[in-house]
Structure 1
Amino acid sequence: MRASDLAVPFHGVRSRSLGDDGGSLVDLCRAYAPRLTPGQFFSHETVFALRGLSTPEWPYSPRIHVSTHRPAREPRTDGVVGHRLQTREPAIQIGPHGMPMENAVRAWRQCGRLWHLDDLVAGADALLGGRRPLATIDELEAEVALMGDVRRGILRHALALARPGVRSPKETQLRLLLVRAGLPEPEVNADIFSTEGEFVAEIDLAFRAWKVAAEYDGRVHAEDPRQFARDADRWAAIRDAGWDHVRILNHHLRDGGGSAVAMVRDALIRAGWRPGL
């Protein structure tokens, strides 16, 4: 138990699987899992991390949250945030890593005391998106109505900004940035077609009335030449269909995102849009 090749991530736990960096949050949850007592489960932002969903960006660092319902006692261990939740019917699920965790809808509401508004919007978008959404807007609204809002209504505010079908938190960030800058609200992941009615592409953010397509491209460089070639053909097809295609890269979102806003605004103005229209 005192061997030098064993890490001690938590009191009473020894692990060979954690590297010199202490391991990822998922690794730490795996290490902590044997300490869970009956009725305890991972909750709050830990659920999002375990499910590979959106969490706040660096320098924010999600923590390990473990909850239980009254009258049981929450864990009190270094490295873990314990919660003793009010009595209600549990909704514990076995997640992707085989560990017990809070229902995703409840976990999102629990993050209301931890995250900023835009992170809560991105979290809601993550639950509403994907091929198999983990929640509906009605379920999220019902949870807030049942258990109450926090921090001057931040959860209801986030739900008003959330949209189904979003693919990534950067897409959420870009959409919120453009709308707050006074641009029209775009359609999310809209299908566009050629003049002959053939499917061309699904667009991250589409301003259909002006045929302007805005998309976030998170790649630093093209590591796969074949994928880059397919993407280049797609971009050309979008332009051939009569759309002005605006690719937003990560550096365009820095320093408040002024560059991204300017690029999309210029494309809209070229297409005939005017502020206030």
Structure 2
Amino acid sequence: MTPHAPLPDHLRGQAFRVADCGLSARRRRGTDLRRPAYGTRLPAEVTDLASDLRARALMLPEGAVYSHVTVALLTKVPLPLRLAEAPAIHVTTPFGTRARRGRGVVGHQRQLAPEDRMTWSDVRCTSRGRMFCDLADLLSTAELVAVGDHLLRRWGAGRMRREIAAAIERYPRRQRRPMLRAVLARLDHRAESPKESELRVLLQDHGFEGFEVNGVIRDDDGGFVARGDLVLRALRIDVEYEGDHHRSPAQWRRDLQRRRRLEALGWVYLSVTQADLDDPAALLADLRAAILSQRARLARI
């Protein structure tokens, strides 16, 4: 194979436009280059999302920014698999500029205030607060709460609440603001995984309140026993989401020991899986039964 001629210094390691790169058509077809978007090239070994977006941005009109799912993935906000596994590129352009369309691209035409924009890894995109608002079009309430919980935990509860609240009040789709405010009120920075957040919303929607999120449970002498996902302390009930990940033998033994200690202290331990989130009838019935049983038992003590 004939070796490729070296790229000029000003093109190495970065994206560039075909129209003004000065390379021959043959050189632009070199296997050491790839095409993130029509009219652009990027070194083949550069495969991260931010680099792809910087390349695509070379062909975007003035004022256009990345938004929605694209910002979530760029900033490593966890999303449901249906959006994360085969994501389209979302681009928001201001009014007066035609929305972007194309293979794998979803275009939006929306008003954007200066505060609704940010730069992340040299990529122009919407702010985290505006991303939260925009994702309401694509996520369920529980999934949006999970995104908000993550933002609060990662960037500071007070700071992110203020940023999201301000973005909601600027959001141009006024009819969506009441729903977004209601979701904001349900966020909790103590949640540590999207599924924990979805479980909390599910139980709240069915009338179960008063849970401590990731509450610490101690024995009568003050010794640490466990940290429960959702804890009803007065009734000694711990509701735990169990993921589908494979646990090591050592972790499996620790989990069994933790459950044994909780039950020995009079706690009810309810395990929840994705199957329960998909069809919660049995979980809800079991939780109601546990509440009634614990109330009766504790009243006798």
Distance 1:182 1:228, change over 3 A: same
Q: Report what 1:216 is aligned to.
A: 241
Distance 1:28 1:13, change over 3 A: farther
Of 107, 110, 119, 1:82 maps to 107
Of 193, 214, 217, 1:168 maps to 193
Q: Report what 2:150 is aligned to.
A: 126
Distance 1:80 1:193, change over 3 A: same
Q: Is the 8 A contact 1:93 1:101 kept in 2?
A: yes
Question: How many equivalent residue pairs?
Answer: 263
TM-score (norm 2): 0.72
Structure 2: give runs of 5+ residues left out of the alignment.
1-27, 297-301
Q: Distance in 2 between matches of 1:89 and 1:206?
A: 42
My pick for the range that moved more, 113-122 or 75-84, is 75-84
Q: Distance in 2 between matches of 1:163 and 1:186?
A: 11
Q: Report what 1:197 is aligned to.
A: 222
Distance 1:146 1:93, change over 3 A: closer
Please, what is the CA RMSD of the aligned residues? Answer: 3.3
Letter in 2 for 1:32: L
The alpha carbon displacement at 1:121 in A equals: 1.9
Q: Report what 2:67 is aligned to.
A: 43
The alpha carbon displacement at 1:43 in A equals: 1.7
Q: Distance in 1 between matches of 2:268 and 2:276?
A: 18
Q: Distance in 1 between matches of 2:99 and 2:78?
A: 26
Q: Report what 1:265 is aligned to.
A: 288
Deviations, residues 107-163 of structure 1 (Å, cap 9, x unaligned): 111223333322222222221224855953333223212335444732123223322
Q: What is the percentage of aligned positions where both structures have the same residue? A: 31
Whether 1:117 aligns to 2:141 is yes
Q: Is the 8 A contact 1:117 1:154 kept in 2?
A: no
Q: Is the 8 A contact 2:35 2:41 kept in 1?
A: yes
The alpha carbon displacement at 1:45 in A equals: 2.3
Q: Distance in 1 between matches of 2:207 and 2:95?
A: 47
Of 208, 212, 229, 1:183 maps to 208
The alpha carbon displacement at 1:51 in A equals: 2.5
Larger Rg: 2
Q: Is the 8 A contact 2:54 2:123 kept in 1?
A: yes
**Higher helix proportion:** 2
TM-score (norm 1): 0.77
Q: Report what 1:103 is aligned to.
A: 127
The alpha carbon displacement at 1:261 in A equals: 1.8
Q: Report what 1:12 is aligned to.
A: 39
Q: Distance in 2 between matches of 1:172 and 1:87?
A: 29
The alpha carbon displacement at 1:253 in A equals: 2.5
